[in-house]
Structure 1
Amino acid sequence: MVLTREIAPLGLTEWADQCAQALGAGDRMITLFGRPDADDEVVITAILQSDAGRLGVVRGRAKRHEAFPSLTPRHPAVQMFERELWEQTGLTPVGHPWLKPVRYEGLRQQHMTEHPFFKVRGQEIHEVGVGPIHASVIEPGHFRFMCHGEQVHHLEIQLGYQHRGVEALLLRRPPLALASLVESIVGDSSVAYAWGYCAAVEALSGAQVTIESDLVRGVALELERVAMHLAGLTGLATDTAFLQGGATYGRLRTAVINASMRACGSRFGRGWLRPGGVRFGIADELRRDLLKTIAASAKDIAEINDLMLSARSIQSRFQGVGVVGNRAARDIGLVGLVGRASGIAVDMRVSLPGRLYTGHPVALLTEETGDCWARLLLRMREIDESLRWLTRVLETPDLDLMAITPVPVGPLWPDTLCVSVREGFRGPVVQTLETGTDGHLIHYKVQDPSLLNWFGVALALRDNEISDFPLCNKSFDLSYCGNDL
């Protein structure tokens, strides 16, 4: 979390230079975006994180359609940020190697069929197009494979078919009445989004929630992480015809989300978190219920994990397939679980622990091989760590998680920028709120980890067979709606 009021905006070139210096010194770009301002100007904000975990802010101001030297040629992880900035504000990153729309917003909506797909030429090269409408219940997205025989030379992914207009919608309601909308931005990350939003408006109003509220929020988030990782394992087992795993992981996911429903009335944690605290505490009876569910799940998870990892068919299909090495993962800016599976040791619960994870730390887990096997194994290990964390918290003696008094959340401070980051099961959910002179929101920027990780799916499939795509895709387990805001 970073909260700031006095940041003088730089000129566009100076802003780009300062960002380049920070990236060259080893900082990571957390988010980069622009918002319209008066007199046809654009205010640009870059949020960077140092190796020590500290967040920094670099702000600039420019006229619409002004140009600046692209950061992407030297820092490829910025490529998606610059494409989005160009699409939304007209600011042009000169020298960007692959400048094309991300979502086809505004007037570009009618031109999605003109998307400039990368071409691979050769007498025996053929293209395979999949989507945007799929035969399942997944959301729309187009995948274009450039193949030589069964081998994929290049995959390009085009998303942005929904045009939901989430960020504009978030400015149409009072800032303290957005919880139900924020929870629905990405349905399988409702708690991560709700907690980030609540923390932001609390910080913007100077409200300090109780540690008990933070503990309940942490329980909700870790239950969400376990449930969604189990959903990912269900898909991976099903995609490789390991039917025992598919059935068992699916059953276990149901047990975990039903525990969330008993806690707050929603299997996905909706309505549990609200600004100022939580709507539902954890009484002793519910605490015992959760501990019983966790213990039973942990036993069954360990058994099915052993069966899956020891199966030769699973080893053959996962090991060495869909590799994204450490250098490539750093270059393109992979985040969250898929980044850690390629050896990038970054987890916001560790680098930005806040009060909760400082007092109740979580282990930072990584794998090194960067293949589907690493992403499978890390998903299992993160489930185990979350279950251990939940058990430790819920077994803490003399901890009353029921007597929680909500804290009043008053008007938001004027002229203030707040950046809120929560590590969801996919990676960091970033929400940036800015208020104007009257304390009302003038900008609400949302960023799902999927935005940065979809390019990793394309990279993972290179030189693999096209039949490996379902496995690579599910091992990343990204969100369409998290990209199509």
Structure 2
Amino acid sequence: MNQNYVISDRNPALFTLAELPVIDYVQFFHEIGVLLKNESNHVVSYFCLPEEKAKHRYFCFVADDLNHQLKAFSFIQPSGAVLESLTPVHNALHIFEREIHENYGTQFSGHPWLKPVRWPHNRADKNSCMDNYPFFRIDSEELHEVGVGPVHAGVIEPGHFRFICNGEKVHHLEIHLGYQHRGVEELMVNKKSLLQKAVLSENIAGDTAVGHSLCHAQLIEKLGNFTPSENMQLERALALELERIAVHLGDTAALCGDVAYQLGQVVCESLRTIVINTTQFWCGNRFGKGFIRAGGSHYPMTEKTAAEILKNISIVEKRFSEMASHLYSMPGALSRFDEIGTVTKEQGLRAGLTGMAARMCGIPRDIRTSHPFQAYSDVDYKPVTFESGDVLARALMRRGEIMKSVEIVKMLVEKNLARINNPGREQEAEITPAPYYKMALAADSICISMTEGWRGEIVHVAVTDQQGEIIRYKITDPSLHNWTGLALAVRNQEISDFPVCNKSFNLSYCGYDL
């Protein structure tokens, strides 16, 4: 047994602060270095908590995907400490170290790219601002720069893209975000009502309302010692898969639009509408807002809801299967997808890519299988993976995941119907309670919760004080890592390939900005 960290095979996982060994940074540096040599391990959260006497306590969680374990580390340093950077050895940690540096002023010596992440309102260096962002530059008469955004031609979120080009070929892309920073993590601490926290969680990234609210709900339930019923777990997994299907359909429509295949675009858009209208039929909101709450649900599944889901999902399955067969046999579309925007497995590992962005280049990261949550412990699921890492892989991955999610939806609905119609079940035990907003949370504890949103792994961590009040809330959206994947994908591509590369990732600005 290693005395430098604690291990859990649960998701969510709860630890008391007292049981976390506090090691020195040299030990931490060594242990992390050893673990990350194995590509089945990756850091899912690494952040800082200011303490009394000008000290900072750091927490780091490493996911062991092969053994389905989480390893929790902790160390303490004085504020303003200078620490040796792990980034030169394990590049995937670059964004965590940059975030800690920006928020708390910790210096990471040897970090090659210690730039701001999102300009939080209470950042350590108030002189650092968007107007003086240090863009990477190359002095050359052969190269030119192209700036795009933050205001775009489409109705999309704000972000700035700075291309360095040699003619039409992209030599380098730097992505500059932070325009939508709302201080969500601080609001999660300041808002004392669990209802307020729940509403915040489903607005972290608007297209991932179910993924983030589920991650938050199971974290609160773990801290509150509440175990959701099997019905609730089935319904939550079902809502998550409906969200995945809907967004993948919308993304496929967008990819069709980018290559001027209008029939594919309108068909996939109409199918997305069927799916989100099904969610609205169930809970009153097309994006699933209000559906997932800690402690219970206002929208337990009924036979009528189940019948509507099965009817609509069968329509979507049939029509999408037909359209996908047409789309992926059209030379005109394939020529714009194949070998465009390629990311290699080595690049994906170094960048710390997660979810779809990892699976499209041969990295089988999927929290549903590596760290099962809710009903996924009983779902026999194998992630859809590709090796090519190009736009075609990302498009085909959506096709594969839609069809697999359709099967999961059918299975979960049938399972729930069997429970509803089982004459021998204990009626009282199966009644889904209403959400409970008065939970007493575990004191002096830290809890980590992970879900697999449609983009990839979503991670929420909460630290509580002696009264059980949350004093630190850390959120990691998959886009935090995956924007680097987009920057890598467009290298050596024509700048005209950027739109289809961008659509193929479809990353979140607000999920990154928080």
The alignment's TM-score, normalised by the length of structure 2, stands at 0.92
Residue pair 2:210, 2:239 contacting (<8 A) in 1 also: yes
Aligned to 1:269, the other structure's residue is in SS state coil
Amino acid at match of 1:37: E
User: Residues 14-53 of structure 1 correspond to what in structure 2 (within 5 A)?
Assistant: 14-26=27-39, 27-50=41-64, 51-53=66-68
Among 298, 320, 335, the residue aligned to 1:316:
335
Q: C-alpha displacement at 1:399, in angstroms? A: 2.0
Match of 2:171 in 1: 153
Q: Which residue of 2 aligns with 1:393?
A: 412
Contact 1:207 1:407 survives alignment (8 Å): no
Cα deviation for residue 110 of structure 1 reads: 5.9
Q: Per-residue deviation at 1:175?
A: 5.2
Q: Deviations over 1:11-66 (max 9, x none)?
A: 33333333223223442111111121112211111110123120011111111110
More divergent stretch after superposition (277-286 vs 201-210): 277-286
Q: 2:222 aligns with which of 191, 200, 203?
A: 203
The question of 1:455 aligning with 2:468 is answered no
1:214 to 233, 239, 246: 233
Which residue pairs with 2:383 in the alignment? 364
Instruction: Deviation per CA, 1:376-417: give whole Å up to 9, x if none.
Output: 000110010000110112123522298423585630010010
Is this contact kept in 2: 1:19–1:46, CA < 8 A?
no
Equivalent residue for 1:186?
A: 205
The two structures have a TM-score, normalised by structure 1, of 0.97
Gaps of 5+ in 2: 1-11, 422-429
Amino acid at match of 1:144: R
- Tell me, in whole angstroms, the C-alpha distance in 1 between the residues paired with 2:458 and 2:193: 19
2:446 to 410, 417, 422: 417
Give the match's secondary structure for 2:440.
Answer: coil
1:293 corresponds to: 312
CA deviation vs aligned residue, 1:212-250 (integer Å, no higher than 9, x gap)? 000010111100000011111111111111101111111
Q: 1:207 to 1:443 in 2, by over 3 A?
A: same
Query: SS at 1:481's partner residue?
Result: helix
Instruction: Describe how 1:34-433 pairs up with structure 2 within 5 A.
Output: 34-50=48-64, 51-105=66-120, 106=123, 107-108=125-126, 111-174=129-192, 176-177=194-195, 178-396=197-415, 398-400=418-420, 403-406=431-434, 410-433=439-462
SS at match of 2:270: helix
Structure 2 equivalent of residue 480 of structure 1: 509
Q: Separation in 2 of the partners of 1:370 and 1:448?
A: 21
Deviations 1:453-481 (A, max 9, x none): 00110000000000000011110110000
C-alpha distance in 2 between matches for 1:358 and 1:32: 26
Q: For 2:127 and 2:328, how far apart are their aligned partners in 1? A: 45
TM superposition shift of 1:338: 1.2
What is the rounded CA distance, in whole Å, between the counterparts of 1:237 and 1:283 in structure 2? Answer: 36
Distance 2:449 2:94 in 1: 22
Tell me the CA shift for residue 162 of structure 1.
2.2
Q: What is the count of residue pairs matched by the alignment? A: 485
Residues of 2 paired with 1:438 and 1:394: CA distance? Answer: 40
Do residues 3 (structure 1) and 17 (structure 2) align? no
Identity score, percent:
38
- The one-character-per-residue Cα deviations of 1:180-238 (angstroms, maximum 9, x if unpaired) are 11111111101111111110111001111101000010111100000011111111111
Name the SS of the counterpart of 1:156 in structure 2. Answer: strand
CA distance in 1, matches of 2:272, 2:38: 42
Give 1:104's aligned amino acid. Answer: W
Matched to 2:481, the amino acid is L
Quick one: which amino acid aligns to residue 433 of structure 2?
T
Cα separation, 2, equivalents of 1:361 and 1:194: 24
In structure 2, give the amino acid aligned to 1:230.
L
Question: How big is the shift at 1:143?
Answer: 0.3
Quote the Cα distance in structure 2 between the aligned partners of 1:101 and 1:193.
24
3-state SS of the aligned residue for 2:241? helix
Q: Deviation at 1:109? A: 7.2
The CA deviation string for residues 229-284 of structure 1, in whole angstroms up to 9 with x for no partner, is 11111111111111011111111111100000000000000111111122201111
5+ residue gaps, structure 1, are none
In the alignment, the residues of structure 2 paired with residue 407 and residue 88 of structure 1 have an alpha-carbon distance, to the nearest angstrom, of 34
Residue type of the alignment partner of 2:471? I
Per-residue CA shift, 1:327-385, capped at 9, x if unaligned?
11111111001100000011100011135112123231101100000000001100100
Aligned 8 A contact 1:192 1:423 in 2: yes
Tell me, in whole angstroms, the C-alpha distance in 2 between the residues paired with 1:36 and 1:113: 28
- Distance of 1:77 and 1:416 partners within structure 2: 27
Aligned AA (2:440): P
